[in-house]
Structure 1
Amino acid sequence: MFEDPETWVAIAFVILMAGFGYLGIHRTVLTALDNRTARIKAELDDARRLKDEAAKVLGDYKARRASAEREAAAIVAGARAEAERIAADAKAKMEDFVARRTKAAESKIALAEAQAVADVRAAAAEAAVNAATRILSGTVKGDIADNLLSKGIAEVRQKLN
């Protein structure tokens, strides 16, 4: 039995444990294990606290993002409404401009038409007066003819103009 190496290892182990027990090493090992347990527990508590803080920060950022998205949607909707209003105003101004230009053109046409009619009347009156002057001067002679001719011409001019 004392020849087996396992026996000597077991005896050495028992002696070592007895020495450790006598010197109080087991208390030191237990204290170190307790300290390590406390440190691990503190690290776990810190990790839990950091996780809770991270979740809170994440919630805050999600709320901010949702708020920013709502604000962006409101800005886009406002811009669309403003663009539609500007387009409607531009369309109304363009229609008003076209109506004014059409009215001005119609006025110019009517004025030109009236001027043309007046010019034609004046030319017709002048032609009629000249024709009457030639006819009457050829048929009637003397002071009476000149007097009648002047009165007739004045009367024709007055009626035609």
Structure 2
Amino acid sequence: MDATFWATAALLIFLALMAYLRIPGMISKSLDARAERIRNDLEEARRLREEAQQLLAEYQRKRKEAEQEAGDIVAAAKREAELLVSEAKQKTEDYVVRRTALAEQKIAQAERDAVNEVRSSAVDIAIEAAGKLLADKVDARADAALFKSTLDDVKAKLN
């Protein structure tokens, strides 16, 4: 009995044990189960990928909407700022016009007051001068009564 015989016998016993214990079936089941697991994993991965793509599309849409809304908000803020600036400018111009008119009124009143004061002073000086001239030329008694009545008339006309 040589070694070839024993190797062949061992091989036959090994193959018989494998057939008896149904090892190829177990290996086949194991491989089938593994293939099914891999198939399920691939299907799950495909499903997750589709969900991820849907989520990505949704977030991109939301981002675009948010960008649009932000653009609208910025545009509205710019319009409002321009409106506020124009209103402030208009109010400032109105204020300047009012203040200028008030200043012009005060200047005109001051001019009128100055003219009236100068007239009043001129009338007072003229009355005193006339009184002195009349006092020198006319009798003091008659002159005093006449001067007083004339002075009262002139003051009544001025006031």
TM-score over 0.5 (shorter chain): yes
How many residues of Structure 1 are paired with residues of Structure 2 in the alignment? 159
State which of 47, 50, 53 in structure 2 corresponds to 1:52: 50
**Unaligned 5+ residue runs, structure 2?**
none
- Alpha-carbon separation, structure 2, partners of 1:61 and 1:23: 57
What residue number does 1:131 align with? 129
State which of 60, 79, 82 in structure 2 corresponds to 1:84: 82
- TM value normalised by structure 1: 0.84
Q: 1:141 to 1:10 in 2, by over 3 A?
A: farther
- Alpha-carbon separation, structure 2, partners of 1:137 and 1:51: 126
- Alpha-carbon separation, structure 1, partners of 2:12 and 2:72: 81
Offset at 1:66? Answer: 1.2
What residue number does 1:108 align with? 106
Offset at 1:73? Answer: 1.2
What residue number does 2:116 align with? 118
Greater Cα offset, 100-109 or 76-85: 76-85
Structure with the bigger RCO (C-alpha within 8 Å, sep 6+) is: 1
- 8 Å CA contact 1:2–1:8 kept in 2: the answer is yes
- 8 Å CA contact 1:125–1:160 kept in 2: the answer is no
What residue number does 1:62 align with? 60
Q: What amino acid maps onto 2:139 in structure 1?
A: K
- TM value normalised by structure 2: 0.85
**Unaligned 5+ residue runs, structure 1?**
none
Q: Percent identity?
A: 41
Q: 1:16 to 1:3 in 2, by over 3 A?
A: closer
Greater Cα offset, 14-23 or 49-58: 14-23
- Alpha-carbon separation, structure 1, partners of 2:16 and 2:71: 79
- Alpha-carbon separation, structure 2, partners of 1:94 and 1:146: 62
Cα RMSD for the two superposed structures: 2.6
